[in-house]
Structure 1
Amino acid sequence: MSQEKKAMLATILCLLLMILGFILEKTNNPYAFISYLLAIFFGGYKQTKEGLLDTIQNKHLNVDLLMALAAIGACIIGHWFEGAMLTFIFCLSGALEEYATNKSKKEISSLMNLQPKTALLVNQSGKAIETAVSELQIGDTVLVPKGASIPIDGILISTASSIDESAITGESIPVEKGQNDELFGGTLNLGEALTMTVTKTSDDSLFSKIIRLVDEAQNTPSKTASFIEKIENIYVKIVLLAVPLMIFIPYLFLGWTWAESFYRGMVLLVVASPCALVASATPATLAAISNGARNGVLFKGGIYLENLAALKAISFDKTGTLTQGMPIVTDAVFLAESDEAVNMLVTMERQSTHPLAQALMNRFEDQYTMIYEQLDVKNIIGFGMAADKDGDHWQIGKGVFNENTVFDKQILARTNSLHEEGKTVIYLYKNEEVIAYFGLLDVPKPEAKQVLHFFKKEGIHTTMMTGDHKKTALAVAKELEIDEIYANCLPEEKTALILKQKETYGINAMVGDGINDAPALANAAIGVAMGGGTAIAMDVADMVLMQNDLKKLQMSYLLSKKLKRIVTQNICFSVAVILLLILSNFFQFISLPFGVIGHEGSTILVILNGLRLLQTISLDKSEQPPKFQQQKLSLSK
C-alpha cells in the first residue's frame, strides 16, 4: 500500500473513532475515552514516530513532536475530544501534504512508466528477439512496431516515420523523422514499423537523464524551504520554552486557576506550532518543478527555479539559440535566364554537404526542371565548385575564382549592401560572368523577438554573445533589439563576460547550446541549455529547455514569479494566523477546538494554495513586440 493511501486510511480511521467517542460521551458511556485514545493513536502514530526519530537521530525538534505533546496535554486535562480532533485535523493535513507531494511527483512516475523495459533485438539472422533494454549494446539493431514506444536512443535506419516526442519535449505535435535522424527512448512510433541502430546505453539515454534530473530537482529544496527548515528547530524550542511560561506566569501572577493556565498552555502549544509555515514552500516548489517537467523544462533544483524570479540580466548565444542554427536564402537575384542557372545550381550543390549548399538546395529544390546526372563537378578548396557543360564553364562560390573577373558596379553595390547586412553572398558564374548571386543569413527564430521584448519589458538586461563576426551579429541584434552585443567571442571571453555581468547585476542567466557555451553556462547564476544542443551543455546547465523553444524560457520565468508570489502569500498568511491565534489565546478569546481548526486549517490552505502551481502557465499570445525602431547598439570586440 502506498504512503498516500496509508495516510488517508489512518485519517479516516481516526475520524470514525473520534465520532464514536463523541457519541459514547454524549450517552455518558464511561469508556468513551478508549475510543478517543484509539483515535489519537491511529491518527498520530506516524507523525509522532517521525517526530521522535528526527529528534533522537538528528537532534532536530519539529512540529510533529509539538502536535503529539499538545494531544497528550489535552487528554491530561480531560479534553479527550479536543485531543482527538487535534490529531484528526493534523493527520488530515499530513495526508493532504502527502497527496500534494505525490501529485507533484506524478510527472516522474508517469515518465518512468513510459520507459520500455524490453525491446525487439534483431539478431544476425534477421529475427526479432525480445530482450531487456538494459542488455542492449551500442550498435545493436532494434525493431520498433507501429504504436510501440522507442526503447532506447538511436538512429533511424529504415524509412521515415512520425514520432510522438511529447514525453520529452512537452510538444504534442508529432515530429517527422527521416533516415539517419536521431530517435529518443520513451517516445512513441506513430508510423509504420521501423528499425534503428542503438547509439547509447539505457543508463545514458536522454530519457534516463530526464528522469534523474527531475528526481534530483524534487529532492533539492529551494532557498526559502531550506531556511524554513533551519529555523523550525529553533522555533520549536522557543515554543516549548514559552508553554511553561504561559502556564506558570498567569497562574502565579495573574490569578488564573491551574486548570485555566494549563489549558491555555496546551492551546498555545497548538496554535504556535509552525505547521503552516513549514508547509509554505516545499509543496509549492515540488508542484512548480513538476509543472516545468510536464512542459519540457527541467530544473536541476528548486533553488534555480526560485532564483529565476530575481533575474536581472540574461545573455544568449546566437547560433542555434536565438537563430535557427542553419542559414537560409534571404536574397536571390538572377541576371540571366534563370531555368538553366537553377538547374546547374542544384546539380552542383546537391553533391556538397556544406550548410550553405544545403540552404541553396532547400531554397530551389522545387524550382529546378532537370538534373545533369553525368556532370563532372569539381570541388575547389577555398572557393567553391566548378563544372563544364556544353562548352560552358560554370562556377559557384563565395569568392572570385579568377583575378580577371570584373563586377558590374550595380552588382558590386548590391552585394556590398548584402555584406553590410551581415549576409553571406554566393555567386554563380557562367564563363567567368556573374549571372546570379544569393544572400544567406542564419535568421532569428520566430519566437525570439517576442521573448526578448518580454524580458526587456520586465526590466531585464539582454545581451548576445557570439563567436560570429560583427556584421552578422549586428544584423541579428537589430532585428531582435538586443541591449548589448559581443561579437568574435571565444569561450573564455564569454565566461569572463558572464562573471563580470554576475558581479554587476547579481542574478544573471546564460542561454546556450554548444560545447563553447559550457564554461559560461557553468559560471552564470543560472545556466540554461537548449535541449537540442550538446550533452556537455546540458550536463553543466542548471535548467534545460527540452524543446529549442525560447517561449519555454518565458514560461519558466512566469512560473518562477508565480512560485515566489504563492510562497510569499503562504508565509505571510501562516505567520499572521499564528500571531492572531497566540493573541486570542492570551486574552482567552479562543478555545482549544477553535485553535486546532485555525491552526490546522491554515496548514491545509497553504498546501492547497501551493498546488495552484500545477496549473499550466499561459503566455499572452496577443502581446507582440513593437515594430523595429532604430536604436544604439553597444557592440564590443
Structure 2
Amino acid sequence: MAQGANAIAKQNSVPKESLIGKMKPHAELIAASISGVLIAAGWILSKGDSQTTSVIAFILAYVIGGFAKAREGVKATIEEKELNVEMLMILAAIGSAIIGYWTEGAILIFIFAMSGALETYTMNKSQKEISSLMELQPEEALRITNGIETKVHVSELKVGDLILIKPGERVPSDGKITKGQTTIDQAAITGESIPVSKEAMDDVFAGTVNLTGSLTVEITKPTNETLFQKIIQLVQNAQSEKSPSQLFIERFEGRYVKAVLLIVLLMMFVPHFLLGWSWTETFYRAMILLVVASPCALVASIMPATLSAISNGAKHGILFKGGVHLENLSHLKVIAFDKTGTLTKGKPEVTDVIVADGMDREEILLKAASIESHSNHPLANSIVKYAKEVLGRELLDPDGIEDVSGWGVKARFEDEDWKIGKADFVGRPAAEAFSDGTAVKLASSGKTIVFIERNGQLAGLIALKDVVREETKQAIDLLKSKGIYTVMLTGDSQNTAKAIAAESHVDAYVAECLPETKVEEIKRLKEKYGQVAMVGDGINDAPALATANVGIAMGEGSDVALETADVVLMKNDLPKIAEAINLSRRMNRIVKQNIVFSIIVIMALIASNFLQFIDLPYGVIGHEGSTILVILNSLRLLK
C-alpha cells in the first residue's frame, strides 16, 4: 500500500511541476496582471471607509508588480554603475505614496511592469529557432572502417573518415562522394526547389537529404565547421547584434535618470535657501516634480500604438514579433527575396509537352507518366499529376522498370523500349537538335527538361518550371512604386535566376547563393542602402533573415524561417508586405505625435511647478490625462 501511495504521489506531482514550468516564462505578465487587479481593488476601497485596507492593497500592488523591475533596476545599477529608468519609476512611485497618492504611484508601477513582461515574452520566443535548427542535424552516422560498418555519434567523425548514407537519410556532415550515385534534396542549404543529381567526387552538405541511391562519402570538414553549423552560428551572431535604436535608448537612459534625480535633489533644497520657500513647500514641490517628470506618458506613447498596430496587422494576416520590427519597416530602402517558395510556388509544374512529328502526344504523355509513376522524384510526381489532369484516365502498368541512378528510368511496354531522363541519357546531340533546338531555348528560360526516347528514337520532351506566384508581379510593382529597390537571392543557376527575375519584375538578382552568400549580400546591401529586409521561407534563408534589419517569412515556410523572422505573412500573400509598410509608417507618425505631445505636457507641468502655479492633484491630472490622450490617439491604429 505504501508503495502504491508513493507511486500515486509521484504521478500527482508531475502535473504540478509541469504547470509551474509552463508558468515560469510568464511570471512577469502574471505579476503585472495581479498588480492591476490589486490597484482596482485599492481604488474601490479608497472610495469607502476602508482606507487601511486600501493602502494594504496598494502596497501589495507595489510589491508584486514592481518586484521584477526593481530587482532588474538595482542589479543593473550595481553591475553597470549607471542609473536607469527602472530606478526612476520606482522612486517616482514611492514619491507618490509618500505624499499620499497611492493610486498614481501604483499605476506607474503597473504600466512599467506590463511593458517589461511583454518585452521578456518576445525575447524568449525569439530563441526557439536554434533548437529547431538543431533537430535537423543527424546525431549518428554509419562509419566504414576496413570494410566494417559502425554506428557512431557525429561528433566522433573526423576528416578523412568514410561513411555510408542510405536512401532517405540526412547527410550527417560535409563531404565528397567516393562511391555511388543519387539525387539529393538540398533545399535545407541552397533553397533549390528541384533535387540535384550527385555522383563520385561531388560535394554533399550536412542537413541535406539523400533521396535515392546509397552513397559512400569521405568527410571533408569537422562536424563543427560544416555549412549547416555555419547557418546556426550566423543566426546566433545576427541575433546578438543590437539595433541602432536600442543602442541609442541605452545611452539616453542613464542621462535622463541622472538629470531628473539631480533636478529633484536640487528642488528639495535650493528653493528653501534661494527663494525662501518653507521646508514643507520645498519637499512638496520636489515630490510633484518627481511625479510629473516620470516617463509614464512617454512609455504610453509607444507601447499602446505598437500593440494596436500589431493587432491590426494580425487581423489582416501579418504577424509582427515586436515593435522594433514594425518600426523598422517604414525605413526600408531595399527588400531582398528568396526565389523558391517566396516569389515562386516552390513546386515544379509542367509548362510544355513537345513530341516529335508524326507521334501521338497523348500516347507519349500517357506512357511517360505511367513510367514516372514508379518514381518518387519531385519531377516525376509533377509529370504524373499533370498527365492525370490533362488526360483524365488511368495510367498504364509497364512490363518492366529499371532505375538508372543519376540519369533517369528505363521501361518496357510490350515490344517497346523507353527511356526518360537527362539529355546525356538519351544522347545529348539528338536532345539539343530536337525540334529545332527547342530544348535549348526552354532551358535558357529557366526550365528543367525531361527527355523521352522510344525504341532508340527521341519521341518528345517535357519542360517543368517552378512557376512564379500569381500575386508576385503585383507585390513587386507595388513596392517599387514606394521607392523600394527589390533584389532576388537564389541558389538556382544563372539562366533560371535571370528568367524568374524578369518574370517577377525585380530590379536585380544574385544566382547560385549558399546561405553564407545570402548573408554577405544582405550585409553589402545594408552598407550601400541602409535599412534592408529579407523575405524567405526555407531553412537556408534563416541566417539572411536574422542578418537583415527586418526578416519576413512566408507562413507556409519552414519552422526555422518562421521562428527566425521578425514578420510572418500568414497566407503567403506578398502584397501584404506593402500593407505592413503602410501600417508601419502610420504607427511611426502617431508615435511621433504622442512623443511630442507628452514632452510638451511634461515640460509645461514642470514649468508650472517651478512657478508654483500647480498643485499636486492638478499635476497628477495633467500627467495622467496626457497619458490617457496618448493612449486614445494610439488606438486609432486599430482601424
Please give the secondary structure, in 2, of the residue aligned with 1:443: strand
Q: Indicate the SS of the match to 2:500.
A: helix
TM-score (norm 2): 0.62
CA gap of 1:99–1:534, structure 2 versus 1, over 3 A, is: closer
Report the CA distance shift for 1:58/1:352 in structure 2 as closer, same or farther (over 3 A).
closer
Are the aligned partners of 2:345 and 2:468 in contact in 1 as well (CA < 8 Å)? yes
What does 1:515-526 align with in structure 2 at a 5 Å threshold?
516-521=540-545, 523-526=547-550
Instruction: Please state if 1:235 is matched with 2:256.
Output: yes
1:593-608 mapped onto 2 (5 Å cutoff): 593-606=617-630
How many angstroms apart in 1 are the aligned matches of 2:311 and 2:516?
35
Q: Which residue of 2 aligns with 1:576?
A: 600
Instruction: Give per-residue Cα distances to partners, 1:555-579, cap 9 Å, x unaligned.
Output: 6545544554444343223212101
User: What SS class does the counterpart of residue 47 from structure 2 fall into?
Assistant: helix
How far residue 596 of structure 1 moved from its aligned partner, in angstroms, is 0.3
Task: Please list, as runs of the form range in 1=range in 2, the aligned pairs for 1:470-489 lying within 5 A after superposition.
Answer: 470-489=494-513
Change in Cα spacing, 1:233 to 1:514, as seen in structure 2 (3 Å) is: closer
1:345 aligned partner, one-letter code:
A
1:371 aligns with 2:395: yes
Could you tell me whether the CA contact under 8 Å between 1:327 and 1:440 is conserved in 2? yes
Q: How does 1:45-60 map to 2 (within 5 A)?
A: 57-59=75-77, 60=83
Q: Tell me if structure 1 keeps the 8 A contact 2:551–2:567.
A: yes
Question: In structure 2, what is the equivalent of residue 275 of structure 1?
Answer: 296
The one of 103, 114, 117 equivalent to 1:88 is 103
Task: Give the one of 31, 34, 40 matched to 1:6.
Answer: 34
State the Cα deviation string for residues 453-485 of structure 1 (Å, max 9, x = none): 333233222111223222221221111111111
SS of the aligned residue for 2:39 comes to helix
Structure 1 residue 443: Cα displacement: 1.0
Instruction: Tell me the alpha carbon deviations over residues 251-307 of structure 1, each in whole angstroms, 9 at most, x when there is no partner.
Output: 555566666555443332322222222444456556767877898877676655544
1-structure distance, mates of 2:500, 2:592? 39
Aligned pair partner of 2:614 in 590, 599, 620: 590
Conserved 8 A contact 1:100-1:283: no
Q: Secondary structure at the match of 1:326?
A: strand
Cα distance in 2 for residues equivalent to 1:455 and 1:575: 35
* Structure number having the greater helix percentage: 2
1:596 maps to a residue whose letter is V
* Among candidates 357, 362, 365, match of residue 342 of structure 1: 365
Residue 66 of structure 1 pairs with residue 92 of structure 2:
yes
Contact preservation (8 Å) 2:269, 2:282:
yes
C-alpha separation between the residues in 2 aligned to 1:598 and 1:315? 47
For the Cα contact (< 8 Å) 1:93–1:603, is it kept in 2? no
Cross-structure match for 1:120: none
**1:316 aligned to 304, 316, 337, which one?**
337
Aligned residue for 1:365, secondary structure, equals: helix
Is this contact kept in 2: 1:402–1:432, CA < 8 A? no
Q: How does 1:336-485 map to 2 (within 5 A)?
A: 336-366=359-389, 367=391, 369-380=393-404, 384-399=408-423, 401-402=426-427, 405=430, 411-412=435-436, 414-485=438-509
Relative to 1, partners in 2 of residues 1:444 and 1:393: Cα closer, same or farther, differing over 3 Å? same
Tell me how far apart the structure 2 counterparts of residues 325 and 578 of structure 1 sit (CA, whole Å): 54
Distance 1:384-1:55 versus aligned 2 partners, 3 A rule: closer
Pairwise CA distance, 1:361: 1.1
Q: 1:403 to 1:601 in 2, by over 3 A?
A: closer
User: Which residue among 16, 25, 47 is the counterpart of 1:19?
Assistant: 47
Which moved further from structure 2: 426-435 or 234-243? Answer: 426-435
Q: CA deviation at 1:595?
A: 0.7
Deviations 1:495-554 (A, max 9, x none): 433332222123323334445545544544444555655666567666666765545655
Q: Note the aligned Cα RMSD (angstroms).
A: 4.6
Task: Report if the CA contact (8 A) 1:322-1:448 is conserved.
Answer: yes
AA at the equivalent of 2:397: E
Question: C-alpha distance in 1, partners of 2:472/2:493?
Answer: 20
Contact 2:553 2:567 in 1 (8 A): yes
What is the CA-CA distance between 1:328 and the residue it aligns to? 0.7
Q: Does 1:498 align with 2:513?
A: no
Q: CA offsets, 1:589-619, max 9 Å, x none?
A: 3332111011123334445656677x59xxx
Distance in 2 separating the partners of 1:597 and 1:555: 38
2:347 aligned partner: 326
- Structure 1 residues 492, 393: closer, same or farther in 2, change over 3 A? same
CA–CA separation in structure 1 for the residues paired with 2:44 and 2:404: 88
Output one character per residue of 1:186-245: Cα deviation in whole Å (capped at 9) or x when no partner.
xxxxxxxxxxxxxxxxxxxxxxxxxxx9xxx9x999865775566455434433332354
Report the residue type matching 1:576 in the other structure: I
Q: Structure 1 residues 436, 305: closer, same or farther in 2, change over 3 A?
A: same
Q: Aligned partner of 2:482: which letter?
A: E
- Per the alignment, in what secondary structure is the counterpart of residue 396 of structure 1? strand
* SS of structure 2 residue aligned to 1:600: helix
- DSSP 3-state at the match of 2:42: helix
The one-letter code matched in structure 1 to 2:341 is G
TM-score between both structures, scaled by the size of structure 1: 0.63
Equivalent runs, 1:169-184 vs 2, <5 Å: none
Q: CA–CA distance in 1 between the matches of 2:515 and 2:267?
A: 63
Give, as a single letter, the amino acid of the residue that structure 2 aligns with 1:91. Answer: A
Does the CA-based 8 Å contact 2:32-2:65 persist in structure 1?
no
Distance 1:535 1:313, change over 3 A: same
Structure 2: how far apart are the matches of 1:551 and 1:36? 53
Q: Which residue of 2 aligns with 1:116?
A: none
Which amino acid in the other structure matches residue 443 of structure 1?
A: V
Contact 2:398 2:411 in 1 (8 A): no
Of residues 507-516 and 581-590 in structure 1, the stretch that sits farther from structure 2 once superposed is: 507-516
The DSSP-based 3-state class of the residue aligned with 2:467 is: coil
Instruction: Output the CA distance in 2 between the equivalents of 1:220 and 1:319.
Output: 28
Structure 1 CA distance, aligned partners of 2:69 and 2:419? 81
**Match for 2:261: what amino acid?**
L
Counterpart Cα distance in 2 of 1:239 and 1:403: 80
CA distance, structure 2, for counterparts of residue 95 and residue 404 of structure 1: 77
Counterpart contact for 2:497–2:509, Cα < 8 Å:
yes
Query: Which amino acid in 2 is paired with 1:344?
Result: K
Q: State the SS of the aligned residue for 2:337.
A: strand
User: How do 1:88-127 and structure 2 match up within 5 A?
Assistant: 88-92=103-107, 94-95=109-110
**Aligned partners of 2:629, 2:392: CA distance in 1, in Å?**
67
